[in-house]
A and B are shown apart, each in its own frame.
Chain A
Amino acid sequence: SQTIHQWPATLVQPVGSPLSLECTVEGTSNPNLYWYRQAAGRGLQLLFYSVGIGQISSEVPQNLSASRPQDRQFILSSKKLLLSDSGFYLCAWSVLRARDLSGANTGELFFGEGSRLTVL
């Protein structure tokens, strides 16, 4: 069966320090991978998604970046954290070629446990 892990679960960092959140998926190949940020009252904001190794799409301008060095590994990074980067970060994957009645990707997402980042 497929599993997704992300770490660390919690992180407290000073302003201006670097960030690295890691996410790995097991039990599937060539998944779509996503990073979402969740802030109170704002739902889930899509930050990055990737359809393959080295392929990253950015959804919002910010001081965060993402990389996909391996098929099932997705990393969220920052060189210098801001206070506004605090939040709950969620990694997710979906099956690129899952089949529904029309043969398209159904878009169902499978989420990791989340990483809570506090920037002080």
Chain B
Amino acid sequence: AQSVTQLDSQVPVFEEAPVELRCNYSSSVSVYLFWYVQYPNQGLQLLLKYLSGSTLVKGINGFEAEFNKSQTSFHLRKPSVHISDTAEYFCAVTRGRGYQKVTFGTGTKLQVIP
């Protein structure tokens, strides 16, 4: 079985400061990893994904994430946050190779303080 742990339910950060949202996964096989963002009362939107290749993945809105197989982590980072980054962020994992189910973490609410 696969699982995802997002250790922080809420992360407050001042505007223009850097931020890291943590994600750890558990799976006995190779995985595909994703970060999604959800603005209030909306669906989720893909930020970035790791399928294979370079472990540093760049996404939209200046976000990036690094896949660390030995630590089973896929932390999301942004060097300088903006007020508009205030949202909930979800890490997700799937086993790929035709496996249909995607498992989500419980989410991290990023609150950017002006």
Contacts and interface: CB of A to CB of B under 8 A. Distances in A.
Contacts, number: 81
A32 B32 CA distance: 17
Given A46-B101, A51-B100, A107 B94 contact: yes
A46 B101 CA distance: 8
Interface stretch (B37-45, B57-65, B66-74, B78-86): B37-45
A12 interface: no
A42 B9 CA distance: 10
Given A42-B106, A44-B104, A107-B32, A100 B44 contact: no
Contact of A102 (B41, B49, B97, B101): B97
B105 to A, nearest CB: 6
Interface stretch (A14-22, A64-72, A77-85, A111-119): A111-119
A31 B45 CA distance: 18
B28 to A, nearest CB: 17
With most chain A CB atoms within 10 A of its CB, the pick from B34, B99, B102 is B102
A90 interface: yes
Category for how many chain A residues contact B: 20 to 34
Contacts of B32: 100, 106-107
A42 to B, nearest CB: 6
Interface of B: 6, 9, 32, 34, 36, 41-46, 49, 51-53, 90, 92, 94, 96-107
Given A41-B9, A51-B100, 16 more contacts: A32-B100, A41-B106, A43-B107, A44-B90, A44-B107, A49-B101, A90-B44, A101-B51, A104-B98, A104-B99, A105-B97, A105-B99, A106-B32, A107-B32, A107-B34, A107-B100
